[in-house]
Amino acid sequence: MPRPQPHLSGAAAAFALCVLAGCSSLQPQPATSDQIRDRVVTDQLAMYDAQEPVKGPITFYQAAARALKYNLDYRLKLMESALAANLRDVSTNALLPQLVASAGYSYRSNDSGGTSIGIEDRQVSLRPSTSEQRYHELVSLGMTWNLIDFGMAYYRTQQRSDQMLMAEERRRKVAQNVLQDVRNAYWRALSAQRLKPEVDQLIARTQTALRNAHEAQDKGLMPRQDVLAYQRALLDAISLLTVRRQDLEFAQAELVALMSLPPGTPLVLADTNDGALPLPPLSTPQPTLELIALQNRPEIMEEWYRKRVNENDIRIAKAQLWPNIGIDMNVNYDSNTYLYNNYWAAVGVRVSLNLFRLLQLPALNEQAASQEQTDNLRRMALSMAILTQVRIGSLRYQLALQELSFADDSLRVDHDLLDYANAARTSSIGSELEVIRAEGRYLLSRYLREAAYSDCQSAWGRLYNSLGYDVMPDAIAKDDVDTLALEIRRTMTRQEEYLPRLPAPDSAAPLAPFGQMSPPAPSMKQPLVAHPAGASDAVSVR
């Protein structure tokens, strides 16, 4: 009996030790406190890494540029879009045949071989012999192509392409939502920046006036009922201003988070002379707005691509019913000196068909019909949700403009009352209280006017967002904040100026996408995505 080779026993022992070491590493390994602390520090540094410093007061467009350039949610969607593109490239490579190169060697501890015996007499006719060396090298290069694998890879590549487009639509939607959030927070934060010092000053004066009123009441200088009425009016006005101021102050923290600025960064917003951007008029016919939204909304396009992904799922399932045709071609080399031919090539063709799989065809056809009906119904439901959003956004903007006009009138009246109170001021306590009360009403009217303007900007932002317009330049990562802010301003200005001039759509001719309606000036950028007419699908309403 041949004895085992010592080097083989040593190799087996080493292999067993490696297996045992690998099994021990599979035990749960909780993170240590040092690892958690290092992770937190690393994440905090990465969140604010490579940001341009704030050099001065921030305009609305600079705030939008910073949010779109550094916002973590938007950067995440950019990475998801890049990942989808990489996965699509990987799927494309699966269309190629398999080309496998292999090399190795074979070793055995004794000779292989055999003998033969007669069938009738069972006598040994040949002495034992071998045709294989104990040690020899093997090299091969083979190519394999399979019809079913090719068909499935083809449809999966189409799915990856559609998923890449879906990721791009999600990136568009995040950019639009970030812009809307910045618009909401910026104007409320600017209102807080304007009013907070005056509110604080008025609160201090009110406290002094209240103490004087108590003294006047104690000394009997004024009727008690009049003093109490003044106090009640002052306290009501200050209470309302304090509550409203708290709501405005939250906007500053929200704006800092949207721009991904480090905590504690001093934030000063640019306060222009007129104090506001002009609000665009809204004279575009309602059907035009609805059609623009159905053509441009990224949620609809994402659902449209999802429908194509679902259709390819059915095609992949049907591809498995095809006859499986496989082609094998390979070249080989074997260093075995006992072989007559050490080099040889081989070609093979295989055809197979699983007949039982054909029984799935009726069920697959029913699934395809049900899937199409479901996708169409979802598209109709979400399209209706978008139409409702556009209609409500248009109505909200019109009502907000009316509220702003009323706030302007109230502010003008309270300003005149304050001028009158200052002109009629005397040295009496009642006169001083009346001036403070007029100042409180005037400051409250200013707040209501600022709030009304913020609501107008918010309502316009919602309507703008519901139309699905793009404001992003093509190369966001290569632009600095000021350049990006300038491009966003040009794009938004062109769209806002052109929107009121759009005609009502002809029912027989679909409206072209916004990017195809009016050729922009050479210095202005087209919207990033312009979708073909008739491409309508699903939506999630924010």
Q: What is the pLDDT of residues 157-207, one digit of tens each?
A: 888 888 888 888 888 888 888 888 888 888 888 888 888 787 778 777 777
| pLDDT for the residue 414 | 87
User: To which H or E segment does residue 329 belong?
Assistant: strand 324-334
Which pTM does this prediction carry?
A: 0.69
Closest CA to 99 of 151, 157, 145, 152: 145
pLDDT at residue 45, as a whole number: 63
Q: How confident is the model at residue 461 (pLDDT cuts 50, 70, 90)?
A: confident
| Helices H / strands E in the chain, number of each | 12, 4
* Helical H segments across 320-360, by residue range: none
Residue 296 has pLDDT above 70, yes or no: yes
Superfamily of domain 54-105+140-517: Outer membrane efflux proteins (OEP) (1.20.1600.10)
Helix (H) or strand (E) holding 154: helix 147-219
If phi over 0 gives left and psi between -120 and 50 gives alpha, with beta otherwise, what is residue 475? beta
**Phi, psi at residue 108, to the nearest 5°?**
-135, 155
Q: Which of 170-184, 226-240, 385-399, 443-457 has the lowest mean pLDDT?
A: 226-240
Confidence of residue 391 (pLDDT cuts 50, 70, 90): very high
On whether the CB atoms of residues 202 and 238 are closer than 8 A, the answer is yes
Angle between helix axes 361-423 and 286-296 (nearest 10 degrees) is: 130
For the chain, the domains span 54-105+140-517
Instruction: Tell me what the mean pLDDT of segment 250-277 comes to.
Output: 75
Residue 515, pLDDT score: 39
Measured CA to CA, the distance from residue 321 to residue 359 in angstroms comes to 9
Window from 14-28, 153-167, 445-459 with minimum mean pLDDT: 14-28
425: left (phi over 0), alpha (psi -120 to 50) or beta: beta
Contact 104, 334 (CB under 8 A): no
Is a pLDDT exceeding 50 seen at residue 110?
yes
Checking if the pLDDT of 3 tops 50, the result is no
Q: Please state, in angstroms and rounded to a whole number, the distance separating the CA atoms of residues 222 and 509.
A: 76
- Give per-residue pLDDT as tens, 493-530: 887 776 766 665 554 444 444 433 333 333 333 333 33
Q: For residue 88, is pLDDT > 50? A: yes
Coil, helix or strand for 386? Answer: helix
Whole-number average pLDDT of the chain: 76
Give tens-digit pLDDT for 326-346: 888 989 998 888 888 889 898
